[in-house]
Chains A and B, each alone.
Chain A
Amino acid sequence: MTVETKLSFDKAYVEQFSKDRNEPEWMQKFRLDAIEQAESLEMPKPDKTKIRNWNFTAFNHDFKTGEAVSSIKDLPEELRDFFDEDKAPENLIIQRNHSVAYATLRDDLKEKGVVFTDIHTAIHEHADLVQKYFMTEDGVSVSEHKLTALHAALVNGGVFLYVPENLEIETPIQSIFWQEDPEITLVNHVLVVVDKNSSITYVENYISHNEEHETVANIITEVYALDGAKVAYGAVDNFAAATTTYVNRRGIASRDATIDWALGQMNDGNTVSENVTRLVGDNSTSQAKAVSVGRGKQTQNFTSVMHHDGKASDGFILQRGVMTEGSAAIFNAIGKIEHGGTKANSEQESRVLMLSEKARGDANPILLIDEDDVTAGHAASVGRVDPLQVYYLKSRGLSEEEAQRLLIHGFLDPVVSQLPIESVKQQLRQVIERKIN
């Protein structure tokens, strides 16, 4: 079957798409309103990277279901790397293309009111919560720019996680978004709402195989940590070379809430990534840690933002990037303290390791402070592997390659070690290994 790459999406298309999904009227209206805005809104402007010639807007948007599996043992080898075989995940959704292939959630969590389901089901069954939190002014709003509006109009995948008050869930909750079909586009939305004084660990993986066929991924995550809630959010993105990715992960932390990110940004294609944490409530905290390895000719732009509104809010950004071959990347780190955010602390550290003469990389630290009684700091560096470190390791018998390999893994370890699931951590190490070889 030949697929159709649509150059533009109009109201008629969006209306039909929504009807085909049997969506409630509010959702259809939401989509139609968004597509109207998309026409006039501008593209985002990531600092220091030109994306004018990148294609984010013309793609094949067909809805494609993937075959369901009855057991994770029926999955192909490469997907089984994401789990510990002996200890099957208890809370897991595997999305294959645009539909759910496998889903499980512990019974006791279901009984306590935890919702973990695909976004399509959530729109039908949890409309009140979805309407309250899905792409509002507090989170990622439809009108931010063309790609957020396009996302709202065309969302075709994702999950919804709701955790009611006073639940401490230690077992990780895991999603895998597997683009089995190389020709489809993923417009994926992850909505996580953790109610007061509850805590969770959530980990997700994105994977695709389209080395040749050009396509698009438009990913938005919204995480709400209500008063006193704690969210540990881990992710490994691994879209193949021919996917152009826009990924926006946003956290909104209320009073005394914590949102910690550990992001392995391992796409092989051009990528614009935003990770914005809004520390809205007093005493809210966040650590946003991210690693990336660039290879081939890919260009990437990473912007990590700590936005302090709350008093005594505490934010820390840690970015580590390794650039190989002819890759290019910009690492923007922004600490913004609003007027009224007294006693806030905004720290950041961005380090880029260059492994090739042809690679380009830059770290761009920014502090924007509108309040006097605060603390803030930044560190940034762009450098090469230290020849004396290599000498030291070689003097113990390690080969040049092995020494380099160890130093690169060591450089990335402060972020990699933060990923909460052991098998996902190992899988990320494997991806890093592939990318640096």
Chain B
Amino acid sequence: MSDLIKIFVAAFLINNIILMRFIALCSYIGMTSDVGQSVGMGLAVTFVTVMASAVTWPIYYWILKPNGLEFLEILVFIVVIAALVQLVEFYLRKSVPTLYHAMGIYLPLITTNCAILAVTFDQITSNYNFVQSIVFAVAVSLGYLLAMLLLAGVRQRLKNSPIPSFMLDTPILYLTTSIIAVAFMGFAGLIK
């Protein structure tokens, strides 16, 4: 149990996927102009990341590894995730229309979201077992949601702030991110 908590805290705060590892930056900047949108995107990523890990882990350990096909990892994972996102989209549109309207619109963006692919690769390189992989996936995607929410909140304030003209648009967002990241460095001592 304690190792699961360790994995969770490390992936959620200490190695926050956006602020500490620079993964999925483009949706981080692109989707945070509105708080509602950032939450929708965060939830969609959480949903797909957990599903993707639940699918890629068995594929790697039961199919690729016994047959010595580990080198196909990149090719297989990206195709599996793309297909999975497509299926989830069909399923949601048909069966759970309310959920589809809340987060289905973000699904096309998710195929090329590096966070999901990065999580599946990390699980393999860290030799996690199945339960650890799922906990790791949940923690990473909640970390993603947290970072999205933080920036979306700050952006509400930035709208009405006097910003030097050379910093307008994207540069000020990265400067803000830098300061948020400094705050997150404080979590580094949380786990020995």
Do these two chains interact? Answer: no
Instruction: Enumerate chain A interface residues (CB-CB to B < 8 A).
Output: none
